[in-house]
Structures are given as C-alpha cells and as structure tokens.
Structure 1
C-alpha cells in the first residue's frame, strides 16, 4: 500500500518526507471536477518533498476530502497511513505517469536544472464505494526514478 517507501527500504535506502505546506480550505474548480463534488466542499491540501537517502527525488501536491482527514491529524512519512488510521485509506488508486521536462519551480526544489527529464504522476485514490478521496500530482526526478507495475488481470 505504500510503494514509495516499501520499494526503497527493500532496496536498502532511507526515505523521508519534508512536509512544506498544509492548507485546509474548500475545493477550487479543478478539484471540484476531479472529486465530483460541489463548490464549498472542504479539503485539506498537502505539499511535500520526498527524499531517498539525502536526495530530493519528488515534489508532491495532494488534496484530500476534508471529511476523511481531520485537520488535527498528525502526519509522519505516509499520508496513506494517516488515512488508514482514520479508517479511510483508499481501496484502489488510478495512476497516470508521463515523461516531462521538469518545470523551473519543481526542478529548483529537486536540485536539478529546469528542463531536465522528469516523470509527472497523477493519482486518484478511491474508497471502496468508488468515491474519490485523494487527488495527487507529483514531479519526480528522471535520474532517480524507477517504476515497477504489478497488475492483476481480471478473469474474463
């Protein structure tokens, strides 16, 4: 359930996050579309830099529906563990990954040059009943990213 940390720890790496922002508020237009909720719906936005050993490897921006994550929740390294503690961890997630040149602001946070190769990840996390609980966007260094996919093929 926590592949970023598990995969790297299994490879003998140390991981940690630097949480750079926590912003409770209400959905903006893009978030209302992504979650399928009306304006005024409460959300909590998080920004973090993810590290592999001492190397910044990803910048992530996550938005969680506010009804599922209290403002008072304590975050350590895993947003999913915090959701699990409240009984609202996603049952499944849909990912989109594409190669991109890193934009200037993200490259600066990752310690690389603007335009260097990177990976852009969009993720939607869903509850068992199909409702979207999480929308995450992440920018990953191209020189420090590795992707492994373990897919389950449904029976015909």
Structure 2
C-alpha cells in the first residue's frame, strides 16, 4: 500500500516509508528551509535595528544632558553676577540707612530685588542638579560632574 509511486511522492505515507528506511528527500524541504532562513534573517535584522535604535537614543540622551548642564551652568554664571550687583546695591542702601539718609522701609524695599535674584539662582542650581542626575542615568551611573555651578 505504501508503494513509492511518483503520484504518491508527496503524501504522508510515502514520507513515513522514507523515514522507516532512514531515507529523506531534502530537495523537497528546500522551501521550508528557505522560509526558516528568511525568518531567522528577519529576526536578526530586527534585533540589529533595535540595538541601533537603543544606541542612537542613548547618544541623544547623553548629548541632551551635556547641553542642558552647559546651558544651566552658563545661566548660573550670569545669574551669580546679577546677584552680586544686587548685593552691592543693597549694601549701599544699608550704608545710606546707617548714615540716616533713608528710612528702614527703603532698605526693606531694596532687599526685595536681591531676594528675587537669589531665588532664581537657587532655582537654577536645582535645575542643574536634575540635569546632572539625568546625565548620570543616561550614562548608566558612575559619572560625577566636576563641580556644581557657584551658589551665593
């Protein structure tokens, strides 16, 4: 019943017969093997693309982090100069008060801009710390900035 005829060549019974005798006909598995190879190649290409995307994202995160730290450091340097200027104005106002030239209300009013500028400097310092933490995270840990921006 399981005679090997050309018309029966692709039937399951003929394949069983070949399996019994240890015979296989690999030429008829070529399509399946090529399909498996295509699947493996597609999976490999997908893995490579995923890896490349992860690398590009990591480089983008690091670049963004470095840029943020540099920008905030520059802003902090400028803000430190502003605070120093307001500090001089307030000191001069105090001297005028001690000399009896102005009232205490004017001294208090002169302190308000100084406090506002100091508040901005503190806010910039907080943003710098956040940017430093994000950069450390982007680099996978172990990174430490050389120095934080000056704080008055």
TM over 0.5: no
Greater relative CO (CA pairs within 8 A, separation 6+): 2
Whose radius of gyration is greater, 1 or 2? 2
Q: Which has the higher helix share?
A: 2
Q: So what's the TM-score if we normalise by structure 2? A: 0.18
Q: So what's the TM-score if we normalise by structure 1? A: 0.17
